[in-house]
């Protein structure tokens, strides 16, 4: 089974995260088959450093104008032809074992656990029915999914794009499993869009799905 890692890097405040992001991918026990980075003009000196590590595919897409630039990850997925996709935000860090032990599952989404602000949130077993009933997002944003899941429903231009994606995956009949562990580090920082957005309005968008 082939594995692709994709991300979007939009805005100069995020360019600096690429160094650690790429270093974490380089340290994976299991190397991905494809890495794709959608961006809006990452400087050449940064790109050269990432190229030396990962030899990724770069896609420079500065249009159309969207409300949430992370949705440009759709362009990255569109040219990443692997069985499994991991949407790893540029400010998240995979742990070395993140690609180990789940590729042969019959499920369509593998829930990843994460660490945030020194607190661990291991993934747990969950069903599509539970996802459709919950009032919060139970699946980590970096969780692997089969490419067909994205082909049915691309990421939406929403703040909670990953939550909407899991809901629509459940609606499409995807089966879910989990690793039961903590697979990546979610980093909190001042540049996050979630710190500047009306969360009540974002929740209304999710409840309308």
Kindly tell me the sign of the dihedral angle through the C-alpha atoms of 116, 196, 18, 66.
positive
pLDDT value of residue 33: 98
What is the rounded CA–CA span in Å between residue 97 and residue 57?
23
pLDDT value of residue 195: 44
pLDDT value of residue 171: 95
pLDDT value of residue 199: 47
pLDDT value of residue 151: 98
pLDDT value of residue 91: 94
User: Per-residue pLDDT for the chain (209 aa), expressed as one digit of tens each?
Assistant: 999 999 999 989 999 999 999 999 999 999 999 999 999 999 999 999 999 999 999 999 876 666 778 889 999 999 999 999 999 999 999 999 999 999 999 999 999 999 998 899 999 999 999 999 988 888 999 999 999 999 999 999 888 899 999 999 999 999 999 999 999 999 875 555 554 455 455 556 655 66
pLDDT value of residue 202: 56
pLDDT value of residue 49: 97
Cis geometry, peptide bond prior to residue 164 (ω within 30 degrees of 0) = no
CA nearest 193: which of 58, 7, 61, 11?
11
Please state the pTM of the whole predicted model. 0.91
Other C-beta atoms closer than 10 Å to the C-beta of 195 total: 10
What is the rounded CA–CA span in Å between residue 153 and residue 156?
8
What is the rounded CA–CA span in Å between residue 132 and residue 100?
28
Tokens of 15: 């360019």
CA nearest 58: which of 163, 95, 43, 103?
43
Would you give the distance in Å from CA 180 to the centre of its chain? Answer: 18
Q: Which fold has domain 3-207?
A: Spore Coat Polysaccharide Biosynthesis Protein SpsA; Chain A (3.90.550)
Domain residue spans of the chain: 3-207
Kindly tell me the sign of the dihedral angle through the C-alpha atoms of 115, 86, 33, 62.
negative
């Amino acid at each position: 089974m082939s594995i692709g890692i994709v991300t979007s890097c939009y805005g100069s405040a995020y360019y600096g995260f690429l160094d650690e992001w790429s270093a974490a991918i380089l340290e994976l026990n299991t190397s991905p088959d494809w890495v794709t980075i959608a961006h809006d003009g990452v400087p050449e000196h940064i790109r050269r450093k990432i190229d030396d590590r990962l030899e990724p595919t770069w896609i420079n897409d500065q249009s159309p104008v969207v409300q949430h630039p992370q949705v440009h990850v759709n362009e990255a997925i569109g040219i990443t032809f692997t069985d499994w996709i991991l949407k790893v935000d540029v400010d998240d860090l995979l742990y070395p074992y993140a690609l180990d032990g789940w590729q042969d599952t019959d499920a369509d989404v593998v829930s990843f656990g994460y660490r945030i602000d020194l607190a661990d949130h291991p993934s747990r077993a969950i069903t599509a029915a539970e996802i459709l009933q919950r009032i919060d997002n139970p699946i980590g944003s970096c969780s692997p999914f089969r490419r067909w899941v994205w082909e049915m429903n691309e990421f939406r231009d929403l703040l909670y794009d990953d939550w909407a994606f899991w809901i629509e995956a459940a609606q499409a009949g995807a089966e879910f499993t989990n690793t039961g562990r903590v697979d990546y580090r979610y980093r909190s920082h001042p540049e996050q869009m979630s710190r500047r957005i009306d969360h009540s309005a974002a929740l209304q968008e999710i409840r309308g799905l």
